[in-house]
Amino acid sequence: MAESPHVVNTTTQNFTNLVLEASHQQPVLVDFWADWCAPCRMLMPILAKLAAEYGGKFLVAKVNTEEERDLAARFGIRSLPTVQLFKDGRSVDQFMGALPESEVRAFIERHIPREADPLLLRAEELMAQGAMGQAAELIAQALASDPAYPQAILADIRLKAHTGHTEEAEQALTQLPPDQQAAPEVSALRAWLGFAATAAKAPVAAELERSLADHPDDNAARYGLAARRVMEKDYAGALELLLQLVLKDRKWGNDAGRKGMLQIFEILGGSGDLVSHFRNRMFNALH
């Protein structure tokens, strides 16, 4: 294989410099391979070709596991080839086996910085501040420069959702490629849209609160108020209401209380103190 400035041989001695430190500047694909591994020999030309094509947007670091057994053990390598992607000094993603070029390219694309990224980052900040018009301008710029970029498309869908165009947002979600449908951010957005649709049909929060005060078993009011709380980003309040629904009537709305809690966990990224607290309480309520 011809020498390339974007493909390096990595050892225990230079791993910190060539991989961990370098990954703060650009993604580094670490290819764990061995001479006896035929799939490894199939994968190497693909990685080298893509490294040259992307012209330095990522680095390929090759680790011969027969010679660098400590590195293979350190990163839990159990089969070859295994490719781990490093960013900011740590492994953040991996794949195993000799994938076809199209799948390797898709893997890389998820992690390569794009020119649209700063625009989208600022747009998300503006949306959080309620400056939807300014956010829309930046998202439009990002889409114009990179129309097929999944993160730009998702930002546009989020903008539609948060400006009341929920049906357009839902339709746009259904048109995403199959490999994006199960992405965590897509699941979170789909869950948020479900609550948005419920909140849009529900009375105002004060009326729902009065209804619950007068009729504590009004589960529809309780669920509607939970949806309102989600729209207000009062996730603790929403989870408390849905947990009450689980405790009062598990069957109501086809298990809407439990399912609603799971959807909020998705919106919150599936982790954190709030998620852990209510997940434990939900588990105790169900058992």
Q: Which residues are catalytic?
A: 37, 40
Quote the CA–CA distance of 90 and 227 in Å, as a whole number: 38
